[in-house]
């Protein structure tokens, strides 16, 4: 494959940002991921799909450092990544959302998104404790960045609301906002549209495309809704029972017999 190319809709896809090489993940005797390799290129929207229990979320957890694979290598920005704790992965510039929404329920929307900026705040605990000038400046700068994201995702009206009181669809959006606030190099979305109605799904799809378009953020997402996946993504990895059964553009994947079998079932004789 060439190093970078232009997509039909005019976006530039760069070189390899993240490279998963021969990842194997076991829980006791169960192999959740079996020797899977794939890459994520800079600026693209990469989807991971597959039936329930295929190992998609496990794969996302490997990328974000929540799980550590028994075998295989994770390469990020051209360097092999040592075994890392999730907070170090986050500090490297990989932000994520969760399938079952992990927000700080007791805090306001604004505070939640400010937490996403923590990796950008460098002042030490002593200057924070006495609210020294540098700490104050930093708070203002980061607050401005957060306000831009709030505008971008159209959640101005709820910025002071405690997250616990928000409806499901808005929570999903706040979680996206928090991940975006980190200005990640790679954004991982675990089922960003699960449990949403059609209108909410359309909103979320638009936001994902806009994020990719305006900030050039590389996005890897897991999604069940095939229509959405095919519309959004540049390339798709298909998993089934922990194996990779397909990898390519949406059109290539759609025509893959193994993928069709996995999704529709196949008659055994």
Partner 1 sequence: MSADFLYGIEVILNGLMAGVLYALVALGFVLIFKASGIFNYAQGVMALFAALTLVGIMEGQVPFSHIINAIFGTKIHHFGWHVPALLAIFLTLCVMVAFAWAVQKFVFRHLVGQEPIILFMATIGLAYFLEGMGDLMWGSDIKTLKVGLPQGGSRWIEDMTSGLGGNDFYGFFIDKLDMVATVVAAILVMSLIAFAQYSKQGRAMRAVADDHQAALSVGISLNFIWVLVWSLAGLVALVAGVMWGAKSGVQFSLSLIALKALPVLMLGGFTSIPGAIVGGLIIGVGEKLFEYTIGGMIGGATENWFAYVLALIFLVFRPQGLFGEKIIERV
C-alpha–C-alpha distance, residues 182 and 119, integer Å = 7
Strands 186-190 and 218-222 come out as parallel
Q: Is 81 near partner 1 (CB under 8 A)? A: no
Q: Is 37 near partner 1 (CB under 8 A)? A: no
User: Per-residue contact track with partner 1, 85 to 124, x per CB under 8 A?
Assistant: xxxx-xx---xx-x---xxxxxx---x--xxx-xx-x-x-
User: Per-residue contact track with partner 1, 42 to 71, x per CB under 8 A?
Assistant: ----------------------x-x-----
What is the four-CA torsion angle of 141, 45, 229, 257, rounded to 10 degrees? Answer: -160
Using CB under 8 A, which of the segments 28-36, 128-136, 196-204, 248-256 binds partner 1? 128-136
152: its two tokens: 């971008």
Q: Is 139 near partner 1 (CB under 8 A)? A: yes
Q: Is 140 near partner 1 (CB under 8 A)? A: no
Strands 94-96 and 186-190 come out as parallel
| Secondary structure class of 37 (helix, strand, coil) | strand
In the complex with partner 1, the residue whose CB is nearer, 124 or 216, is: 124
C-alpha–C-alpha distance, residues 120 and 136, integer Å = 14
The answer to whether residues 163 and 112 touch, using CB atoms and an 8 Å cutoff, is yes
Interacting residues with partner 1 (CB under 8 A): 64, 66, 85-88, 90-91, 95-96, 98, 102-107, 111, 114-116, 118-119, 121, 123, 125, 128-129, 131, 135, 138-139, 178-179, 182
């Amino acid at each position: 494959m060439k190093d970078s190319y232009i997509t039909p809709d005019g976006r530039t896809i760069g070189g390899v940002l993240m490279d998963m090489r021969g990842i194997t993940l076991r829980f006791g005797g169960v192999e959740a991921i079996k020797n899977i390799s794939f890459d994520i290129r800079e600026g693209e929207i990469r989807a991971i799909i597959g039936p329930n229990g295929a190992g998609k979320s496990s794969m996302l957890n490997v990328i974000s450092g929540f799980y550590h694979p028994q075998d295989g290598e994770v390469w990020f920005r051209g360097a092999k990544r040592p075994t890392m704790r999730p907070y170090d992965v986050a500090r490297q510039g990989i932000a994520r959302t969760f399938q079952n929404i992990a927000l700080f329920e007791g805090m306001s929307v604004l505070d939640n998104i400010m937490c996403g900026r923590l990796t950008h705040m460098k002042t030490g605990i002593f200057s924070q404790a006495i609210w020294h000038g540098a700490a104050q400046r930093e708070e203002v700068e980061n607050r401005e960045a957060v306000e831009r994201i709030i505008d971008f995702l159209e959640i101005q009206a709820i910025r002071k609301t405690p997250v616990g009181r928000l409806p499901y669809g808005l929570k999903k959006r706040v979680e996206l906002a928090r991940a975006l606030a980190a200005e990640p190099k790679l954004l991982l979305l675990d089922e960003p549209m699960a449990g949403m109605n059609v209108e909410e799904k359309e909103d979320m799809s638009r936001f994902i495309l806009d994020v990719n378009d305006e900030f050039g953020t590389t996005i890897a997402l897991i999604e069940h809704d095939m229509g959405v996946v095919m519309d959004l993504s540049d390339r798709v990895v298909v998993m089934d029972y922990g194996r990779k059964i397909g990898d390519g553009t949406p059109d290539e994947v759609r025509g893959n017999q193994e993928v069709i079998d996995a999704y529709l079932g196949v008659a055994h004789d």
